[in-house]
Amino acid sequence: MGMWSIEQPDLTPEQRLLLLTGRYCGDEPPPSEEALSLAPTVTNWGNFIRLANQHGVIALVHDTIERCGMMSLLPGEAALTLRKSSLSSLARNTMIYETLATVSSLAAEGGIGFTPVKGVVLERCLYGDRGLRQMSDIDIVTSAGDAMRFHNLLRGKGYRSLPFKSPIHKMMMMPASKHLPEIDINGIYTEIHFRLFSDKGNRMTEAMLAGSNPDERCGGMRVPPHGLHFLYLASHLGYHEEKGESQLRLYNDIALMLRRYGPELSYSALVGAARTTGTVNAVAHAVAVADLLYSGCGVTDWPAPEGDAAARFLSFLDDPKGVERDSTVAGQSGMTPPPGGMAGRLLFALGAIFPSLSWMKRRYGTRSRLTALFYYPVRWVSGLRRVVSGSKGAERR
């Protein structure tokens, strides 16, 4: 582990221990000596557990602490929480893979091809399939032509879909969005993506689908090409940070891919695709932080990112979802410009201003549609504030 994460003067002992134990060691020896020396300095184990949970690495932290032989140093309640969380992660991942098998069977039945992305691929290919890469849902990517057909097929089997934001958005979903509303399959949500980048013609997503193949090292799972998957993960991380949220878990993914697939993920190998997808700075940012966290990931030719990548990551450390938006980390947004020029943009904006009552009910957690009506003004005022705030930010830049 590099000194960057341990010797930062402003970090609490809890934060330092998180950075030390919240990374995946794999076959390497765990950082026992450093962890054992840090443990006595921790005064708020409840906060340490909170950080591990909010950063999505609590199962990983449990594994590392257990391998370091320091479970006996934790208060009983903290040790019990870690054990329960680890078992819960393993059980949930088991359910997710069972659901993925159902999704695969139904896709084959409908003659639809897809490839999994994100967590379900990473857990099996990089984390040893032991429940250490925490997941909440399933992400798959299919062609734009098959996405709605597959969505309808799953709904036809009785599985419930989250509501579309509005009838207007449903009508414009395929040309203006990147994925469809999630489908609830036995308590596990599946999100169908059909556009992972914002490149013209959706060529990079199509290339990812065309280049996907079964990998025996990943249990025979169909996996996307490492390079394009890596660009997507880094871009998605940038998107989250642009929204004001980040997790150590996502940087672990970047670091493990760099360490496993090395030269395939170098700038020289991916420069063309990175420029086409507009992800150069997002990837450079992710690589810089991963390199610091893991004391080198073996890939050194990515350009320096705009801004201070280390400081940006540390700003998320104590509150992964409470940081001001950052527009310098250029990730991929959830929408692309709608078709139809200005008229299309106005129509799309109208759908955002007046969402369906079903969507409003879920968005604001109301018990009835009648109550959801009262949240329309809340939404309009919030939207107006964002517009004004964005305008002021643009003036400052």
Instruction: Please report whether residue 297 resides in a domain.
Output: no
In a domain, 378, yes or no: yes
> Does residue 22 lie in a domain region?
yes
For residue 57, being part of any structural domain is answered with yes
Instruction: Give CA–CA dist 203/117, Å, rounded.
Output: 17
- Domain count for the chain, please give it: 2
**Of the candidates 34, 54, 74, which is a domain's last residue?**
74
Low-confidence ranges of the chain (pLDDT < 50): 1-6, 330-333, 391-397
Could you say which DSSP state residue 318 is in?
S
pLDDT reported for residue 5: 47
Structural domain span for residue 27: 1-74
Displacement of CA 195 from its chain's centroid (Å): 16
Structure tokens at 88: 């819960």
In a domain, 49, yes or no: yes
Decide which of 39, 74, 109 is a domain's last residue.
Answer: 74
User: Among residues 32, 58, 74, which one ends one of the domains?
Assistant: 74
Residue 375 resides in a domain: yes
56 torsion bin: left (phi>0), alpha (psi -120 to 50), beta (else): left
| Angular region, 129: left φ>0, alpha ψ -120 to 50, beta rest | left
Does 305 fall in a domain?
no
**Per-residue pLDDT, 85:** 96
Q: What integer pLDDT is reported at residue 7 of this predicted model?
A: 56
Output the pLDDT for position 394.
Answer: 45
Name residue 139's beta-bridge partners.
117, 191
Task: Identify the pLDDT of residue 165.
Answer: 86
Any domain includes 380: yes
pTM of the predicted structure, to 2 decimals: 0.88
pLDDT digits (tens, 9 = 90+) for 235-250: 999 999 988 899 999 9
Place of tokens 């819960």: 88
176 with 164: CB under 8 angstroms? no
Query: What pLDDT does 10 receive?
Result: 84
pLDDT at residue 333 in the model = 45
